[in-house]
Chain A
Amino acid sequence: MMRRRDPAAPARAAGVLLALLALWPMAVLGEFRPWLLFEAQNLRVIGAFLGGFLPPASGHEFLGYLVQATLETLAIASAGIALAFVVAVPLAIATTQALSISRLGPGPGRRRGDLLRAGLRVLLVVLRGIPELVWALLFVRVFGLGPAAGVLALALTYGGMLAKVYAEILESGEQRPARALLEAGSSRLHALCYGLLPGCAQELTSYTVYRWECALRASVVMGFVGAGGLGQLLDQSMKMLNGGEAASILLTFLMLVLAADGCSSFLRRQLADAGSRQRALAVGPLALAGLVLLVGAVVASFVALDLGLGALLTRAAATSLGDFLVLFFPLDLSPGCLQKVAWGSLETLAISVLGSLLAAVGGALLALPASGRHGPALAQLTRLLLNTLRSVPELVWATLMALAAGLGPFAGILALALHTSGVLGRLFAEALQNAPPTPRDALVEAGAPAAAAFLYGTLPAVTPQLVAYALYRWEINIRMAAILGFVGAGGLGQLLYVELSLFHYAQASTLIAAMLLLSVIVDAASAWLRRRLG
């Protein structure tokens, strides 16, 4: 027999080489200098600030504010994610390939269906391509300061994100059952409920609950521009350099995220049980009670916030919104402005890539103990660490890292890496736990060491999911990297902050367009990579 070579090897080697070649200029552009962290002056500054964290503030009056702000944050996040869900579900059903009737065959109306899907995808891109902070700034002009701007900003951005990820989750699962139902003439909704949801419900729920947590953090970030909640409180404490109050607020946040985590795992357990217990009702009584509670909480959120969403529908609101929008056009396309924007874009891209990459590595390392592979004690400890990492919003990490490493893009990279490794570590750990155990077990039963059995039995099954998660986070991080500059961490955000505070709306809209363009490019690159690596 002739000597055979691995036909995939040259492509793999080329891919690795190309990735290294692309990373080098990014490291230069992102001012990636880890040793800065250990310089004496930076150590002194961050040490002094962190020293102020102890003891956390616990004054009577402050605690009152804290409770009120916490409830407001919860309400903003819940109302926002509820609206986002309402926006996302029809969009996801309409855009996903898995429920396309015209693709069967291909049948009649194929071109029209593809066009409609493409159009909706563009809408989704615009919705989530503009950071929620920018949406919030826009809505503040219409509704004034207050939670309404935050809720609507969440509804739009998170609606776009949920719709996209729902559609992709539906496409990543087993599609044959739904296809068979569609071929048998059933409607999209029935094919979704009978063909796709059984396989995807857990992941969809898990992702939605996770997004709700993200909304909690986002509402804090929007508090920085006056949308209420814990963010406003944190902003005040940070500005007064009151470490004790900042510590109390961050601790509250950690507890909120832990509670959300418990809520998420409870829901997923109930879903997993749903099929195994034999009863007519699809969900258990506990889950049903939880569902009722959830609906109640959402209604309560809307009532408590007193949003006055009706005002959005009035003619006066529409005119004022229109007048405001006109200020942003035409875009400033002068060479000087474009050059500035191009450099800012490259820097933002470098921040997002390096931050996501560091986070993927860190998340993978933390996911191994967090998935319970090295005993339950270590798992709990790692989970606590992951929760801490991700319960602190990127923007807050960025302010801390600007103290630790100086102003500039490197602080942004660190901020993204810290927060995202908390997020990815948790998602990776869940993926590892959900991986089919038989391939690994079979290798262990054939005498393979645990590490080798993991590499050959578990990793191939979860790699596409891990890669997809990391790439999704990259798509989120490019938007984050664009606004981290608000606190001095480089990139487009720093430029936008300056232009907006000078009322240079034309330049600002060029920057927003650049953010949108960047997020479109990153989305496309991420989708391409997912297809190649999946």
Chain B
Amino acid sequence: MFRLQDVSLAHANGFVALREIALAARAGEQIAIVGASGAGKTSLLRVLGAALRPSSGQLAVLELDPWAASAVELRRLRARIGVAHQAPPLPPRQRVVTAVLAGRLGSWPWWKGVASLAYPLDIAGAAAALARLDLDERLFDRCDRLSGGQLQRVGVARVLYQQAQLILADEPVSALDPTLARQTLQVLSADAVARGATLVASLHAVDLALSCFPRIVGIRDGRVAFDRPAAAVDAALLRELYASDSGPSPASSASAPGPAPRAAANAAPPGGCWR
């Protein structure tokens, strides 16, 4: 499904976000990525989504190296990758139905995309995707009339509608209450299972990651700190992952402040539920 080998990423400003990442997944796997803010979770997802070009290392996504492919191949590849964003990049004045239908622009012919602006061409499809998230009554509302949590779920609905083979979710439920967050992750997960798609999600809430995902990857300072089944992740491991004072380089530990201790304290034992 995808394979990363020695992948490093340095941003244009010189900040090294990823260092020698090695990670692979088979089709249908479900992986949660955890780690402190600034550890490199989003960068990793963006590299997987063929949105950021790694500075070095080998990368294969859906059996293709995106950066060796032609423009047309890259576009086709990207149409098979769905990304749910923490802050869904939806134009405020766009209607929900249009925002969801935009998920398939990669596979629609151009005329269909244009025609759908005049009259939404797949209202039923958009409504079905939204219904799975209990949002179908907002189908014809404008995005700026939605709350942050509803907007986040519209972003998830777009990915559901896209029917991607690799689903990348970057903090997809950060704006939702615990119950809704769990339900939304279950919908994403069930959808991936039903279609044999791979799901990779970065999550701030460690307990949610441990209870909803069989495989957990811990990221710290741009490196894979651990990669093991959820059952084998214990409190000591997590404390080390989120510890802020023992970073290997002063630069990277300074860039990763934030709520790490709180997150570690919130971490529940594997398989636990929300308090």
Contacts and interface: CB of A to CB of B under 8 A. Distances in A.
Given A446-B105, A446-B162, A455-B113, A460 B93 contact: yes
Contacts of B80: 447
A442 B131 contact: no
Nearest to A534: B93
Nearest to A445: B51
B102 A443 contact: yes
Interface stretch (A2-10, A54-62, A88-96, A106-114): A2-10
Given A455-B113, A460-B93, 7 more contacts: A436-B91, A438-B89, A445-B49, A446-B103, A447-B77, A449-B113, A456-B94
A464 B94 CA distance: 11
A442 B94 contact: no
A464 B2 CA distance: 42
A441 interface: yes
A238 B49 CA distance: 63
Contact of A448 (B50, B94, B102): B102
B123 A5 contact: yes
Contact of A439 (B90, B95, B108): B90
A259 to B, nearest CB: 33
Contacts of B128: 1
* Interface SS majority for chain B: mixed
Contacts of B120: 6
Contacts of A12: 118
B82 interface: yes
Interface in A440-496: 441-449, 451-453, 455-458, 460-461, 463-464
A448 B106 contact: yes
Given A446-B81, A447-B75, A455-B114, A4 B124 contact: yes
Nearest to B46: A445
Interface string A2-22: 011111110010000000000
A447 B76 contact: yes
Contact of A4 (B90, B91, B127): B127
A452 B107 CA distance: 11
21 contacts: A6-B119, A441-B89, A442-B83, A442-B85, A442-B89, A444-B78, A445-B49, A446-B78, A446-B81, A447-B77, A447-B78, A447-B79, A447-B81, A447-B107, A448-B79, A448-B105, A452-B114, A453-B105, A456-B117, A457-B91, A460-B92
A313 B127 CA distance: 69
Given A6-B97, A439-B91, A445 B110 contact: no
Nearest to A435: B91
A442 B85 CA distance: 9
Interface string B118-147: 111001100110010000000110000000
A77 to B, nearest CB: 36
B98 interface: yes
B123 A4 contact: yes
A175 to B, nearest CB: 13
A457 B98 CA distance: 10
Contacts of A6: 97, 119-120, 123, 140
Given A7-B140, A443-B102, A455-B117, A449 B91 contact: no
A456 B83 contact: no
Given A439-B89, A452-B105, A456-B102, A445 B127 contact: no
A1 B137 CA distance: 12
Top 3 A-B residue pairs of the complex, sorted by shortest distance between their CB atoms: A447-B106, A447-B79, A448-B105
Given A439-B91, A446-B81, A446-B106, A452 B113 contact: yes
